[in-house]
Structures are given as structure tokens and as C-alpha cells.
Amino acid sequence: NCPMTESEYNAFVDALLGYAKQSGTFNMLSMNAPNIYNLFQREWYAFILPLGLALTVLLTLGWMYSTWQAKAELDNKYIILIAFISAMLIPFLLPKMHDRYFYPADVLSLLLAFYWPSLWFMPILLQLSSGGAISIFLFNADPVFAIYGFLLNAIALTIALRTQRIVEQRETRPIISSSLAW
């Protein structure tokens, strides 16, 4: 009774589970992605991976809930800010990310700078971070560039989350955005 043929169904399942199937290819917490997982040694993989996945789900759901509860006006500026944070947050928190997963955040940082002139430096931070991370692959540069990129991304994400909290005019304790910014 299914309207899809078996081959269409298999293609759908492959597309849906593509990243999950690929996740077992490398036993590394980060593939030059400028996130926190560059700080951990490969021997910690079995311990950090499930912890990182659980923490990512909890923090992302918490951020989504607090954003949903916000009483901010849904104008273009706010939507660009939320889009930037969401594009930045997932590869920043999630283990097993590649450097290329930050590209949407890089592009959105340019839009963010136009809509929020006070955040003019965000594209610069992200381009330095991404440029350092991709240079590891392109030019066989020192992997320490990914750690520097992590620090730049942490600064950018902290500023974006703080900006979100200010725009939403939260008077109560902003537990989720403060903990993410921390």
C-alpha cells in the first residue's frame, strides 16, 4: 500500500541516514572542524563521543525552547541572528564534524554584519577560523590552527548568544543562553 517503490524507499532511507552511516568511517572526534573536540586526544574517543552527542542534544533543545519562548519581534534582523546561531551551534557542539560544516555560518555571518553593523567583526572572526581550519587540509598546516579556530568560534558564538539575549530582553535568568555562552 506504500506509494513508493522499493528502490525509491531505499533511496529515501539512504538520504535520511547518510550521515549516520558515514559516522563510523573515522574514529576521530573532529575532522579539522574548529570546535572543542580538537582539545581531546584520540584515546578519549569512546568516552567523549556519547557525552558530546548527549550534550549537543540537550543544549540545542534548550536553546530552541528558550528561543521559542522569547517574545522578540520576528523581523529580518532577528531571523538572520537566529539562523546564524543555529548554523554555528550545531557544528560547534557536535562531535565528528568536518571543517566544511561551518560554511553556512560563514555565509550567514556576512548577512549578520549587514543587518547588525555593530557585529561587523563576526565575518572576520569566522573567516580566520575557517581559513585556519581548511589550511590544515589544503596546505598541510599545523593542526593547532583548528584550536585557534575553536577559540575564535567560541568568541563569535558567545557574542551572538549575548546579542540574542539582549534583543529578546530577557529579564529572568537566561540559563540556556548563558550556559551556552559560557
Residue 166 has a pLDDT of: 92
Q: pLDDT digits over 48-89, tens only? A: 999 999 999 999 999 999 999 988 888 999 999 999 999 999
User: Is the CB of residue 47 less than 8 Å from the CB of residue 162?
Assistant: no
Which of the residues in the chain have pLDDT under 50?
A: none
**Calpha distance 33→19 (Å, rounded):** 16
Give the strand pairing for 30-31 and 97-98. Answer: parallel
The CA distances from residue 135 to 60, 90, 142, 162, 163, in Å, are: 29, 22, 8, 30, 30
C-alpha cell at 27: 574514529
Nearest partner of 178 among 88, 63, 56, judged by Cα: 63
Instruction: Give bridge partners of residue 31 from the DSSP assignment.
Output: 98
pLDDT of res. 45: 93
